[in-house]
């Protein structure tokens, strides 16, 4: 319970930092130079819901990565790896650490110089303290808002949803992240 409160406070601090950065940056999304190679790295606060154990916990989202290229100024094709890392507290039974995520090709579409959306489907997985690791279909759905941009260098706040449909149940991964993307 103490770990959950600490992670909750961390989430609030991250949210306040994003809000302050957005206010300070104002409309400082300068002309973007999107085209060619692109790379993305993000990290933040993650929420993981495991339907097989009927538990939800807060932990780390990322460090997630993406590599690809822009096919047009607004449309990029990338290979992404994203997920969450949490520890479930089962009291006397102890902690249970679990990493879950998705590795998939994705498309990223820029609706404007400040807003992008992303979607993809591929390999969903979870890895745990036990030897019961599972794989299955996984999805990546996300959106990013540019906080600051200088030419090909872009800082953004993002939200990602990446469910992994495995047996015995679905793992729902939600990440609230800070990202750097080389455009």
Question: pLDDT (tens digit, 9 = 90+) per residue, 32-77?
Answer: 889 999 999 999 999 999 998 899 999 999 889 999 999 999 999 9
Residues 6 or more apart from 104 whose CB is under 8 A from it? Answer: 79, 80, 120, 121, 122, 123, 138, 139, 140
- In order of 56, 133, 163, the CA distances from 169 in angstroms are 13, 12, 10
Structure tokens at 57: 């916990």
29-60 as b/e: b if 16+ CB within 10 A: beebebeeebebbbbbbbbbbbeeeeeebbbb
- In order of 90, 129, 131, the CA distances from 94 in angstroms are 5, 11, 17
Domain that holds residue 133: 2-182
How many CB atoms lie under 10 A from the CB of residue 73? 12
> Looking at the 3D structure of the chain, how many domains does it have?
1
- What CATH number should be reported for the domain holding residue 8? 2.40.160.20
Give residue-wise pLDDT tens across range 91-138. Answer: 887 888 999 999 999 999 999 999 999 999 999 999 988 778 899 999
Structure tokens at 87: 């520890």
């Amino acid at each position: 319970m103490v770990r959950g409160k600490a992670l909750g406070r961390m989430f609030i601090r991250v949210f306040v930092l994003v809000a302050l950065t957005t206010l300070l940056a104002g409309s400082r999304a300068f002309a973007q130079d999107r085209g060619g190679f692109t790379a993305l790295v993000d990290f933040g606060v993650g929420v993981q819901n495991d339907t097989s154990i009927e538990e939800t916990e807060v932990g780390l989202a990322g460090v997630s990565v993406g590599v690809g290229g822009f096919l047009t100024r607004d449309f990029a094709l990338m290979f992404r790896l994203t997920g969450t890392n949490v520890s479930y507290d089962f009291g006397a039974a102890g902690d249970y650490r679990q990493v879950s995520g998705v590795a998939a090709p994705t498309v990223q579409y820029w609706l404007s110089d400040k807003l992008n959306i992303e979607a993809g489907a591929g390999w969903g997985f979870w890895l745990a303290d036990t030897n019961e690791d599972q794989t299955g279909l996984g999805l990546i759905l996300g959106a990013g808002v540019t906080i600051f941009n200088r030419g090909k260098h872009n800082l953004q706040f993002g939200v990602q949803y990446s469910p992994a449909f495995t047996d015995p149940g679905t793992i729902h991964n939600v990440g609230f992240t800070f990202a750097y993307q080389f455009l």
